Structures are given as structure tokens and as C-alpha cells.
Structure 1
């Protein structure tokens, strides 16, 4: 099985070593996971590099995770919605099975110093929840495989009160990436 993971800093693994990233942790002798995450990328950037980063890799599956940076930059939720829609349909056109993914939750109060001056992170969180709901509805409406990292990671946080899985309220520690890898493995068994 060959899988491309297309995304932003969550996929790229901002702040952790390459071998601590959730995409890397999923590689086995029978399964290849290719990390095509770029820190700071938007879904528009992901769509622009779709051919080079997804189609040319000829994967069986394509995990798509993004939208957070779109909302930080102030665009409407309709922009990442349209880009997800396009990427899913391009995946099907190129014989890939798309997997629609939400990003893990984040803590606006723990954002890195200076970042709150960029945007209102509380507003971004509210808007991301609206995008998450749309992504889950979209996946259900089109009977798509999906992984709700947001909901699943909330369960991890509730089982581990007081445990900090974040570097800066947004990006995950190596332990956080291990939890994400476990969530993907469980999801793969259900596909």
C-alpha cells in the first residue's frame, strides 16, 4: 500500500524530528507513507501542487489535511471547502482513494508569542469547527473515507488530563505524533 499525506505543518511535523512525525511512524515493510506536508501551506497551495505531490507519486490512498492556515489568513471557510472538493475529485480522477481529514484541536491561549497579533485565534477556532463539521458532512454525503483527527485527539486529551501533547498550542510534540499514528492505524482497519 502506498499513501501520500498532503497537508500543512501538522502533516510536515513542525517542531519534531523527521523520524518522530506521524507520517514517518506509519511506514512498514508493507506500507509506504509519503510526507507531502509544507508548514504554513493553505489548501490553495495544496491544490496547486496536487499534480507534483500527489499524482506523480501514484499512491493508492491520499490523506488530505488542511484549512487551518486558510482561516488564519482570514479567508472564508468556503475557500478550503472548495479546495477539498477539488482535491477529492481530482484524486478519484487519478485513481487514488481520498481520505478527508480534520486537523487536531488547538489551544488559542497557548499560541506562540507574537502569533495572536496575526489573527484572532478564538475566532479561527470557531471557524475551524464550522469547517470540521462541513468536512465530516462532505465525507458522509459522498461516502468518503475520513479521519476526524479533531474528535479523536479530543478523546486522547480527555484520557490524559494534564498531559501536554503540544509544543505551542498548535503543533504536536513527538508523543502527540505517536497518538496521531495510532489514530490512523485504527482508522485504516475500518476502511
Structure 2
């Protein structure tokens, strides 16, 4: 049964071309959620916020010092005094003092959502009055916006750290700590630092390390001369403790890790199918995994948590890069055998189809010409095991994944992830009953010859 996501649009209709969005009608204009008035004036660098549009890849923001005589809702105005399209979250730290050179005057602003092809997803929002008295900003660091350990889908072994950039920053330094910092909101690294990384302008950072235990993270901005902009953000706590007794683990690559539509990461939980499940889980997935990577890290990343059930979905990266289905199937058998040896019940998910054209457009990466055959061969094997057929809700290869479900052709967007979550929920009780009834019959044994073949076939990633 198809799971329908109802999107409220101006006329409830839009057209999707084969390679990108081509809207007949736009989504409703964004709604501004921060209001600065004479009673609540903005600082010299206020934080502007608006409602998120999950079809946006970025946002365009305009600021005016007066209400223009003629203002179109669907095009940029020549009368703005400030414009930026470097906005990748639904918030922006506006440098008023720089824009107005310290003058205190009423300003006006508006924002709209844009797609990958630099076309509007929405019209501009209604023009919003921004009253400021120029008092010093309370924002002196990036503003963190992750919310780990709060609800389904919010426990990630490989966390992604997200923030709203602070005004003036062109780089960011992320710091991971083993304990709360001894210098909260300070300017110096903490004595509890166990990892740090400096990255060019971004709103997120994928931690390359699995984090078993309880940790803290924070971030600070850096200017074009390499000097800190303000202080470190508030330290955010997250926990992946084996003692939490997780019954269900999720193991896979980026499709299971989460994220989609280019600008949304696994920390945007609406882009994770685990957030739609009716039961809690711990997400043990890692973006970029191939089947061999999954096999190699199983003991390190899965066994400490000893889940009762392990939902396994991976190998899309391997298959699209030309790795044979034979290697994938053996890899899945190895994972199932490892589960059996450790009293874990494996539950395989079939692989949704992909869209090679969109993959190449977004990532400039080729896809093996034989991918339909290999995908179908892997899915046919999975359907002989204890599984949930998440691929059945999407076209069958060689039919491609419609752009409406995955802008980049690979990572399902929020609507696609909701379909996956719904499908798992709908079949969960039947799968558990099947495990109980057929436990002995579903055992897997990997032969020495299969293991040798698995290791001998290259784990190709780049074509």
C-alpha cells in the first residue's frame, strides 16, 4: 500500500521533471517566526528565523531600509541594501551593524526557499518590519541546533553536529569532549577535548568516529584571518550508552544513517526513517559505507550494544559503483551469521531503486550500467530471508527513483523516509512472528569458499 504524504501547496499541484523540480505552482510563502518590535527591539546582530521548507536546498534573504514602491513576490528586488543566498538552515544571524554602519533605523526583510537549480521553491515571505536599537548582540557564537536523545530516531552512533553560523564567521572549529567543558562559552580549547576539526563555511560536520558512551560537543566561528569570532557555543550532550539496553539497532549506510535533499543531514530527523518507527532504536549506520565496510565494522559498532533485533540495509553505494551482487549477497550472509553467533535477530530491508541521472547531476558520480540487474538480484535474495520489503513501495529497476522522492537520486527525502518507516511499522509484528516460528530454518552459514570470494572481489567505489 502506498504511503501518501499530503503537501499543502498553493493549488496542491506541482510538476516534477525527470531531473529536477519544475513547479507549476510554488509552495506557500515562508512564515517568519521571529518578530522585532519597539517593545522587543533587535540587537546589532539579531537571529532571524522562519519555518523550514524541506524542499529547500538554500534560502535567499533580502533586507531593505524602506518599503519599496514596487515589490515582486517572486523575484529579487534591486532596492535591497543587503542580500545573501548563503543560507542553508531556516535561520540567519544578520549583521545589522555592518549593513547600516551603526545607524539605528527600521529595516525590513524577507526570505524565500530555493532549489538546486536556483529556482524558487516558494515566493518571498511577506515583508517583515525589523526594529532595532543597536544594543550589543547576545549571540556571540554559532547556535547549535541538534536535539539528540529526544525521541525516536535521535540516537546516532555516528553523530552529525549542526549549527546556525554566527555573523562574520567563514570557518568553524568543532570540538568533541569527554566531559562538560571547564570553560563554558570560553575562547580556549577544553582540557576534556578528545577530537577537533576545522572546516570551511558550513552548517554541519559528520563525525568520522563512532561514539560509544556519553560525550559533549561545541563549535566556534573563525574569521578570514583565522581568529576566533566570539566564543565556543553551549556544549551539547549526547549519549550512546550500551547500558541503555536498545532492543532494535539500525545498521547500514547513508540511506539508513539519514539525511537527504542535499541540505539535510542525519541530525534532521524527518529525513531518517527511524524517526517514523513506532518503537525506539539506536542508529548504528555510517554514511558512505560499502558492504565491506559494514562487515568490517560490525564487531566494533554493533556488538557493544547487543540489540535483540538488527535492521540491516546497505550496499547501494557498492552496487551503483559496479560491485557485483554476488559480493553483496555474501556480505549480507556474513552479517546474518555474525548476528546469529551473537544472539541477534537480523532483519533485512530491500533496497529502493535509484536515479543515476540525478546522482550524476548532484554528485558528478557515474553509476554502473548493470545496476538494475544487480539491484534486482540482491533484492531477490533478500526476499528469501527474514525481511521487510521497503523497495516494494517504489518502482522496480530499471525504473528509476522519481525525483519527488529523492532529489539526489539516492538518498530518499523526508517523504520517502516516511514511506520506509510506515512500511516497517506495518510489517513489524509479522516479521517478529516469523522469527519466532522459523528461527532454526533461517540460519545462515558462510562457507570458506564464499568468504574467499567476498575478499577477492574488489570493493570498488569510484567507477
| Partners of 2:280 and 2:286 in 1: CA distance | 19
Q: Which residue of 2 aligns with 1:176?
A: 416
Give the alignment's TM-score, normalised by structure 1. Answer: 0.81
Q: Which residue of 2 aligns with 1:108?
A: 356
Confirm whether residue 150 of structure 1 aligns to residue 398 of structure 2: no
Q: Deviations over 1:112-139 (max 9, x none)?
A: 426565333x4223311121112223x1
| Partners of 1:72 and 1:106 in 2: CA distance | 9
Confirm whether residue 49 of structure 1 aligns to residue 290 of structure 2: no
Which residue, out of 249, 274, 284, partners 1:23? 274
How far off its partner does 1:91 sit? 0.4
| Partners of 1:115 and 1:76 in 2: CA distance | 22
Root-mean-square deviation (CA), in Å? 2.2
Where does structure 2 lack aligned partners over 5 or more consecutive residues?
A: 1-245, 397-401, 432-463
Q: Say whether the 8 Å CA contact 1:61–1:96 is kept in structure 2.
A: yes
Higher strand share: 2
Q: Say whether the 8 Å CA contact 1:65–1:101 is kept in structure 2.
A: yes
For the residue of structure 2 that corresponds to 1:170, the secondary structure is coil
Q: Say whether the 8 Å CA contact 2:309–2:346 is kept in structure 1.
A: yes
Q: Say whether the 8 Å CA contact 2:248–2:311 is kept in structure 1.
A: yes
| Partners of 1:114 and 1:153 in 2: CA distance | 21
How far off its partner does 1:44 sit? 0.9
| Partners of 1:188 and 1:33 in 2: CA distance | 13
How far off its partner does 1:65 sit? 0.5
Q: Say whether the 8 Å CA contact 1:43–1:67 is kept in structure 2.
A: yes
| Partners of 2:327 and 2:426 in 1: CA distance | 30
Q: Say whether the 8 Å CA contact 1:136–1:146 is kept in structure 2.
A: yes
The structure with more radius of gyration: 2
Q: Which residue of 1 aligns with 2:333?
A: 85
1:92-171 to 2 correspondences below 5 Å: 92-113=340-361, 115=363, 117-120=365-368, 122-137=369-384, 139=385, 145-154=386-395, 164-171=404-411
How far off its partner does 1:35 sit? 1.1
Q: Deviations over 1:74-126 (max 9, x none)?
A: 22211111111011011011011100111212222332426565333x42233
Higher helix share: 1
Q: Deviations over 1:124-176 (max 9, x none)?
A: 23311121112223x1xxxxx20111113349xxxxxx881212121111111
Q: Which moved more, 1:100-109 or 1:49-58?
A: 100-109
Q: Say whether the 8 Å CA contact 1:22–1:177 is kept in structure 2.
A: yes
Distance 1:22 1:114, change over 3 A: closer
Q: Which residue of 2 aligns with 1:67?
A: 315
For the residue of structure 1 that corresponds to 2:284, the secondary structure is strand
| Partners of 1:183 and 1:165 in 2: CA distance | 15
Q: Say whether the 8 Å CA contact 2:259–2:413 is kept in structure 1.
A: no
Q: Say whether the 8 Å CA contact 2:353–2:375 is kept in structure 1.
A: no
Q: Say whether the 8 Å CA contact 1:8–1:40 is kept in structure 2.
A: yes
Q: Which moved more, 1:10-19 or 1:51-60?
A: 10-19
Q: Say whether the 8 Å CA contact 2:356–2:367 is kept in structure 1.
A: no
Where does structure 1 lack aligned partners over 5 or more consecutive residues?
A: 140-144, 156-161
Distance 1:114 1:186, change over 3 A: closer
Q: Which has the higher contact order (CA 8 A, sep 6+)?
A: 1
Give the alignment's TM-score, normalised by structure 2. Answer: 0.35
